[in-house]
Amino acid sequence: MSETGTRVETWTFDKACQSMEFNEVHKAKISVTDSSNGVSVVDEDDLIIVGLFAPDDADADADADDEQGKLDLTLTGKAKDLDEKLDGALKEIIEENVKSFKNGSKVGSTIPALRFIVPGSSKSKPKRVVVLGLGSKGKYKDHGFFEKVGHAVASVCDTNKMVKTCSVILPLDTKGLSFSNFATEFYSSLYSDNRYKTGDNITHKAENLVTVTIIVEGNVYDINSANASLEDGKKLAAGVFLSKDI
């Protein structure tokens, strides 16, 4: 019997199965905007993922600094604004995790979520901020970059189970980057097969997540095209789901 209580049709060598249950792509909607629209991620969203590039020499120094740890990051843009609003707490948590984070030199690396309540806000619900490593800025247009970022964002959203809304701050120029690849990897990373599970064995990744907003601190050459590309990526993920289900 399936989760819905209906009998699952099977097949024999003489007669093919006439129907098949399949897993649907996650319901969360991803959209793109740029930093010029005045959106306040601190006020609006439950989870803020702050992308940070490593210093130019981070790859060379990563192993050398592993033993002692050395913070070599300068916060700019929305990351700096957020740190100032939190009285330096963002930079502090980066310093506390500098040995494992290695100044963000590995694409997709993260620091555990920092929980906070917005100073002066009447809303008592804690928010969360996660720092995401983007590697060297000179290499972010390399093959596989946006896929790693998409996977990392999905993992962070799944880890923080109660999150409904998420903003991802990316300080980069989007020319040459495929938002479709981001979306395909994001949705594919949230795949879970519950067709033959019951009770406590049923799992839903990031089940409360409703929206993910990518805020680009750089050039977005065509926001409409970028959002259309995200939808294309979601359709590709549906094909990935189907191939796994089969």
Whether 79 and 50 have beta carbons less than 8 Å apart is answered as yes
Within the chain, where are the H helices? Answer: 41-44, 58-61, 77-85, 89-96, 98-101, 145-159, 179-188, 223-245
Query: What is residue 219's predicted lDDT score, i.e. its pLDDT?
Result: 79
pLDDT band at 9 (very low <50, low <70, confident <90, very high): low
Q: What is the pLDDT of residues 88-127, one digit of tens each?
A: 999 999 999 988 998 899 999 999 999 988 766 555 678 9
Element (H, E) at 76: none
Q: Is 222 exposed, middle or buried (0-12, 13-18, 19+ CB in 10 A)?
A: exposed
Query: What is residue 221's predicted lDDT score, i.e. its pLDDT?
Result: 79
Q: Which residue has the higher pLDDT, 187 or 117?
A: 187
Mean pLDDT in the chain?
Answer: 84
The rounded distance, in Å, linking the Cα atoms of 192 and 204 is: 7
Q: Which residue has the higher pLDDT, 218 or 63?
A: 218
- Stretch among 38-42, 141-145, 198-202 having the lowest mean pLDDT: 38-42
Residue 170: name the closest of 137, 126, 211 by CA: 137
pLDDT surpasses 90 at 128: yes
Q: Is 175 exposed, middle or buried (0-12, 13-18, 19+ CB in 10 A)?
A: exposed
pTM for the whole structure: 0.84
